[in-house]
Structure 1
């Protein structure tokens, strides 16, 4: 049994591990323009540089949550951090978009090993009031790091190189590994020798990867009719319809198979990738639904804001990071607010308050966005948004896991983390599609109405969309194309605004989902004991 002091030092390194994983999902955002210029990647590759990490992350969380329960949560966390460090070296040395995307896939594997294990270690090593405080620290760390990442990435990209946005992971990862070995107590499920549900893992990976692929690539290959041939090596998709509807169909079939397979294994007393019996716990079931929808709205907007700030407003990466620091400031203030309200306001009420603040903040950002906007009009709304993220993230985790037995905390942590990451992946895919599709449609219409030849319109639109807005800089440098650059700036501003409003809409759905979060199981037991009906449980 570790001493209380060692346990809290262990939480420090656990939180640092979470910080590094979360920072890496956002640090790259402000570096994208530099990567576009250096490696010449397209807008689709821009999404995949971010999405490959999130997608693999989401697809493997359940697998590693189950493995951690069996083989040791600290062991899996440390191994994941080692993989994360190695993949950061590869990413920092990448000479092409494909290599960078491959490195991000490997980073996603490492991240998927770290995140659920940190949650289950907190759940296992802290009890009672201490657990609530520990979850608040863990959750506020996530909320703050979402925005600290862009600031750090902006500084490194502006003063050094985008490659250092990955290089900084190396020393920090080594410190975390050493610190965890010294201060974090190993934790695993006693007597868990029933094996791993590998077939369920295959189903889950297929389902998540096909869904996100379809959402990202739909505008490229066509949502129904073929816009572009889908090829892998020398093989070309032979269908008369696009590959995208087929991907959606595979997602539906794989999801159905995953649920049926898992339910059958549970019925036979065998372990499943998701402990479906945990969904009988109301707080766990309803909290996961809320977490997925909320995450869909929370992080998708982080894709478009850095592009708008740099290519439309004209800020460099460091200035962009400072603007997004408003979000971090709100998240850090939220940790203090959450502590002050602890014991006076229920966790569910705090989650609802956080979501409402997020809706106000992201909608406010949407109303402020225009080609002539400045940081003064955007930062206050980002602060409100960050305040909401900080309040909602920490307390929602507490609500979801509060009634989960400790011996199943790894699977439960993996499930709730998967809900969040799936929401984040869908958010990036959906809001990214809204951004680039709206830019393509609006810019095409504007330039056509100006009387430009169809061939020139297609060339300009493809250039702006494929560069994720980077082509605007070149258009501005030629006096003859300055009007076209103005149209492109307006199109990207409008696309970013539509994305912000869509995010607010998803957060609104998330708020509605929290209305189903009632009393915890313990509160229900106490109520029934008081009324003499405890035998019902």
Structure 2
């Protein structure tokens, strides 16, 4: 950051605000989808792509964006990303068709991918010692808090104004971020980067990540093997009986295999490579990104299930659902205040372990209180503990991963770390989503087996309707006195399935906690001296 004192910290706030914006946009649209469907007259498939296109492109480009930021300038890449993001947000807010909105979401994903790893590398390059620990704590808590604030903000804007403001609000925020970054954040880049570009590596990386992340996100929707519903995008229809999911997974895995082989050859030959394999020789980085991927499996997957349970079982509105998740955001932001002092006292690895343990307690506790008649106050404490854990673990795990990565390669290190977390999150949502809906189908089918006056065909129809609507059909069943008993059984089954998903998430976090025991004990400032002399930030 430029200068000392307030300017440095205001620059951090500008970067954190930009990060909050791209994280919020991953969840803000979820609660606006029903209104988007009505206004634009789009199909459920189009609505699915409005939600998923952003996440898919975002995850696919993180590695490429982080590497190119080291070469071209991290602040420059961050600013280009914000510009792309705000242009895409304007297009989305003005969209008159589903195709335009989906294309705008793709463009938003491009901008977000430029911003996230670059924000991390800017902090790694411009902060040292104890200040780096505080900076990472603020960054990590921003991610956790923003993920929880997305549904609240989206529900408020959609209910009070229009779904278009879920995108329009990005315009003033982006302009503030651009101005503040230009004034307060110094440029930094790898001054020793080799000449030449690894364009083939970049292409293979994007194809591979797109295929794998698509399969993880869409497996439950389109079928893991046989096609379970129509698949189309931009007018192109998939007509084969096999699902597009295994095809995409195979293409992605093959592309990643070729990518890794190509990267090994280029590294051995000393040629410019997208992936610097020497980074994996750094124990803290290698163990850190492995732990980050495993922890991410259970960290945010439950945020997919909880809003559905709040709205379709407890009957909350979109805005009230956001309020119910607010303790998670409060806990995450609070962690930014206590994370740095704890790190100075115990070391980052211990704080990560404490954070993951808190997440484990919070997620498992939510599993115990989920029920059709849960009181509004019962989940609050566990959500708060969950949020504190997210804030501590996300920030300090990032700090451990990058603590010994040379500044000149921090963009690539940040891109790898962010990619590991995104793939872990996608896998966690895929697994927890499968647990939720497979459990829902089986449990509801069993509960309705002896329902009076319900034939097997009608039972299967009800189970299918509740599953396909992610529980939204429960409200219609409850409104009709003749089907109200079926709605009660559906609420009970949905609650029990959500409980299973919570316990599955807790299981992943337990594995992540074990993985975190291998992290080296690092206190901010102990290993960073070589970094600060390797590449000083240039002043722009």
Partners of 2:76 and 2:527 lie apart in 1 by 36
Matches within 5 A, 1:456-467: 456-467=458-469
Matches within 5 A, 1:425-464: 425-450=426-451, 452-464=454-466
Partners of 1:162 and 1:494 lie apart in 2 by 32
CA shift for structure 1 position 471: 2.1
Shift of the 39–436 alpha-carbon distance from structure 1 to 2, 3 Å rule, reads: farther
Would the aligned equivalents of 2:59 and 2:213 in 1 still touch at CA under 8 Å?
A: no
Shift of the 414–308 alpha-carbon distance from structure 1 to 2, 3 Å rule, reads: same
C-alpha distance after superposition, 1:145-193 (max 9, x if no partner): 2222222223222322333222211111111111111111111111435
Shift of the 255–121 alpha-carbon distance from structure 1 to 2, 3 Å rule, reads: same
CA shift for structure 1 position 21: 1.3
Q: Secondary structure of 1:468's match?
A: coil
Would the aligned equivalents of 1:475 and 1:484 in 2 still touch at CA under 8 Å?
A: yes
Q: TM-score, normalised by structure 2?
A: 0.90
Would the aligned equivalents of 1:287 and 1:517 in 2 still touch at CA under 8 Å?
A: yes
CA shift for structure 1 position 125: 1.1
C-alpha distance after superposition, 1:97-126 (max 9, x if no partner): 554443322211110001111111111111
Q: Secondary structure of 1:194's match?
A: coil
What's the counterpart of residue 350 of structure 1? 351
Matched residues, number: 525
Shift of the 65–161 alpha-carbon distance from structure 1 to 2, 3 Å rule, reads: same
Bigger drift between 127-136 and 60-69 goes to: 127-136
Match of 1:503 among 502, 505, 525: 505
Partners of 1:231 and 1:31 lie apart in 2 by 22
What's the counterpart of residue 537 of structure 2? none
Partners of 1:42 and 1:511 lie apart in 2 by 42
Would the aligned equivalents of 1:44 and 1:466 in 2 still touch at CA under 8 Å?
A: no
CA shift for structure 1 position 277: 0.7
Partners of 1:62 and 1:203 lie apart in 2 by 11
C-alpha distance after superposition, 1:497-536 (max 9, x if no partner): 222111111111111111221245997999xxxxxxxxxx
What's the counterpart of residue 516 of structure 1? 518
Shift of the 425–216 alpha-carbon distance from structure 1 to 2, 3 Å rule, reads: closer
Shift of the 520–161 alpha-carbon distance from structure 1 to 2, 3 Å rule, reads: same
Partners of 2:528 and 2:338 lie apart in 1 by 30
Partners of 1:384 and 1:65 lie apart in 2 by 32
Bigger drift between 268-277 and 56-65 goes to: 268-277
Shift of the 185–149 alpha-carbon distance from structure 1 to 2, 3 Å rule, reads: same
Q: TM-score, normalised by structure 1?
A: 0.90
Matches within 5 A, 1:77-476: 77-94=78-95, 99-228=100-229, 236=238, 238=240, 241-450=242-451, 452-476=454-478
Partners of 1:299 and 1:138 lie apart in 2 by 17
Alignment of 1:482 with 2:484, yes or no, is yes
Would the aligned equivalents of 1:332 and 1:390 in 2 still touch at CA under 8 Å?
A: yes
Q: Secondary structure of 1:272's match?
A: coil
Q: Secondary structure of 1:488's match?
A: helix
Shift of the 512–318 alpha-carbon distance from structure 1 to 2, 3 Å rule, reads: same
C-alpha distance after superposition, 1:458-496 (max 9, x if no partner): 443333333322222222222222122223222322232
Partners of 1:525 and 1:67 lie apart in 2 by 23
Would the aligned equivalents of 2:296 and 2:424 in 1 still touch at CA under 8 Å?
A: yes
Would the aligned equivalents of 1:351 and 1:396 in 2 still touch at CA under 8 Å?
A: yes
Q: Secondary structure of 1:195's match?
A: coil
Partners of 1:98 and 1:362 lie apart in 2 by 37
CA shift for structure 1 position 48: 4.4
Shift of the 51–366 alpha-carbon distance from structure 1 to 2, 3 Å rule, reads: farther
Partners of 1:358 and 1:248 lie apart in 2 by 30
CA shift for structure 1 position 307: 1.4
Bigger drift between 45-54 and 157-166 goes to: 45-54
What's the counterpart of residue 536 of structure 2? none
Would the aligned equivalents of 2:350 and 2:521 in 1 still touch at CA under 8 Å?
A: no
Would the aligned equivalents of 1:47 and 1:429 in 2 still touch at CA under 8 Å?
A: no
CA shift for structure 1 position 432: 2.3
CA shift for structure 1 position 226: 4.8
Partners of 2:363 and 2:283 lie apart in 1 by 29
Partners of 1:46 and 1:379 lie apart in 2 by 31
Partners of 2:471 and 2:528 lie apart in 1 by 56
What's the counterpart of residue 532 of structure 1? none
Partners of 1:246 and 1:322 lie apart in 2 by 40
What's the counterpart of residue 25 of structure 2? 24
What's the counterpart of residue 494 of structure 1? 496
